[in-house]
Amino acid sequence: MCAESQQGCSGKEECILHDPDKRNHCYVLWTIDNVTKKSIIKLKGCFLDSNDCYDKPDCIEDNPERKKDLYFCCCDGNMCNQNFSWNPHPTSSKPTQPSVIHEFEPVPNTKQQAITLALLISIPMLLTFGSFFLWWLYRHRKLGYFNEVPTLEPLPMPPPSPTLGLRPIKLLEIKARGRFGAVWKAELKNDIVAVKVFPVQDKQSWQTEQEIFKLAHMDHEDILRFISVEKRGDNLQAEFWLITAYHERGSLCDYLKANIVTWPEMCRIAESMARGLMHLHEEIPANKADGYKPAVAHRDFKSKNVLLKADMSACIADFGLALIFYPNKPCGDTHGQVGTRRYMAPEVLEGAINFTRDSFLRIDMYACGLVLWELASRCTIQDGPIGEYRLPFEDEVGLHPTLEDMQESVVHKKERPLILETWRKHPGLLSICDTMEECWDHDAEARLSASCVVERVATLSRTLVLNSSTLIRVDNTNEIITTKESSM
């Protein structure tokens, strides 16, 4: 979105291609000042697959009829929206010439004319309704498709919860930008909240997130706290807001870039993170207070989607790609190859997913192993110098790997992030290393469950043998109590 000063339109955006059968385009949405007659850009950037944009090297608006003084154009090619113009095609005022009936052509009688007219009207209508029905059916089946733009409401949306209309929210500053929009630090009355702003093309992710948050039993300490949802603006300028609790420390990824963690902090983060994932994966029967909660797979689990609270415990966020597993109901025709390439499990990279609940939960656990590796790499307990923060597979495939890069590294070479020998010299970190290796096992069925990771880390955080005579215990408040044991 461009500021009135137009300074917001000077950057470049790399369009991410999510489907090899589709195209990316560039677009511009602008108005013209009635006084100065200068163009004022409102929106500019990447546009999803559209037949109207195919094979158009230049961004030209040719529609003479304007809606609310807004001009829109799209085009094919790198930076093709750098220049844009309005070049309307005038509608022809000449009457259509009647077709000439040659002398040798038979002139139809009145009955034939009526039949012909009926066919000319009914056949296009049948084709139109048939095409619309097939398109609706396709869209209905593909609701889970990765980053698909919903151009038709599949079902009536429930009202925001709680229903308070548009709230008096003041956006303060952008804290993060992600696949589905920007996250703002904002002020709601006297409280600081987070507002995740989805552009119109990512409305489906906004719908998925609120559907997950509104499930029973989702008010959990290790799941990001949901406050409300709102729709702001109309048409192409519409925005969809997700309002949640705000955590100043930000994501685990950003925190580890600038900070190192102690052993008690690492255990606290790892245990709460795994507990949040366990709660998400868990199927909980209905009780007197809450209804039934089905199992949910996150499908984009990574350190960017783990937030740190003030007490250094973690909570899980970003459910835009999550999948709900209702009992006796198949997953449907869900696109399996979604998420962040760096964190994709081997079976996802291969496109060989077994579309069952347990298969999707095991994909989350593979990514959990990588996040544990990120934590271990920045823990002060390791025997040796602590290196700079690195993303998983950064040494193997760099910062911007292609799908083919990840397939070669993870599937064919069966590579995993390097575990230093200095980590294994500490008994607690050794156990974490064993845990992460069992999480990212190439065989999906051999991977640990989230509940098993919680149990292991909880045990480690309570009791850790440092040497033959010292037992160190860490309680839930991170207080360290050292006692001497006669023999261990």
Q: What is the pLDDT along the chain (488 residues), one digit of tens a residue?
A: 565 555 556 678 788 776 777 788 898 888 888 888 888 888 888 888 888 888 889 999 888 777 667 888 999 888 898 888 888 876 554 444 443 333 334 445 566 677 777 778 878 888 888 887 777 665 554 433 333 333 233 334 444 433 335 678 999 999 988 777 899 999 998 899 999 999 988 899 999 999 999 999 999 999 999 999 999 988 878 899 999 999 999 999 999 999 999 999 999 999 999 999 999 999 999 988 889 999 999 999 999 999 999 999 999 999 999 999 998 887 655 566 688 999 999 999 998 788 889 999 999 999 999 999 999 999 999 888 899 999 999 999 999 999 999 999 999 999 999 999 999 988 999 999 999 999 999 999 999 999 999 999 999 887 653 433 344 444 444 444 443 333 33
| Alpha carbons 200 and 235: distance in angstroms, whole number | 8
3-class state of residue 235 by DSSP: helix
CATH 3.30.200.20, the chain: domain bounds: 167-246
Which pLDDT does position 383 carry in this prediction? 82
| Alpha carbons 467 and 488: distance in angstroms, whole number | 8
CATH number listed for the domain at residues 250-469? 1.10.510.10
Residue 181 Rama label (left phi>0; alpha psi -120 to 50; beta): left
| Alpha carbons 383 and 421: distance in angstroms, whole number | 9
E strands in 146-219 = 169-178, 181-188, 191-199
Which pLDDT does position 90 carry in this prediction? 66
Residues in the chain: 488
Cβ(44)–Cβ(81) under 8 Å? yes
E strands in 357-486 = 463-465, 470-474, 480-484
Name residues whose C-beta falls within 8 Å of residue 207's C-beta, 6 or more positions apart in sequence. 150, 157
Which pLDDT does position 46 carry in this prediction? 87
Which pLDDT does position 332 carry in this prediction? 56
| Alpha carbons 47 and 200: distance in angstroms, whole number | 11
| Alpha carbons 52 and 90: distance in angstroms, whole number | 19
Report the CATH fold assignment for 167-246.
Phosphorylase Kinase; domain 1 (3.30.200)
| Alpha carbons 453 and 362: distance in angstroms, whole number | 13
Q: Rg for the chain (alpha carbons), in Å?
A: 28
Which pLDDT does position 258 carry in this prediction? 95
Cβ(274)–Cβ(252) under 8 Å? no
The residue assigned the tokens 């409305």 is 203
CATH 2.10.60.10, the chain: domain bounds: 24-86
Active-site residue, from 300, 318, 364, 441: 300
Q: What tokens does 359 get? A: 């298969």
| Alpha carbons 216 and 415: distance in angstroms, whole number | 39
Bond from prior residue into 162 cis (ω within 30 degrees of 0): yes
Q: Looking at the domain covering 24-86, what would its CATH class be?
A: mainly beta
Q: Phi/psi of residue 133, each to 5°? A: -65, -45
Residue 332 Rama label (left phi>0; alpha psi -120 to 50; beta): left
Q: What tokens does 212 get? A: 């997950």
Q: What tokens does 371 get? A: 């996040």
Q: Is 300 a catalytic residue?
A: yes
Q: How many alpha carbons lie under 13 Å from residue 290 in its C-beta half-sphere? A: 13
CATH 1.10.510.10, the chain: domain bounds: 250-469
3-class state of residue 414 by DSSP: coil
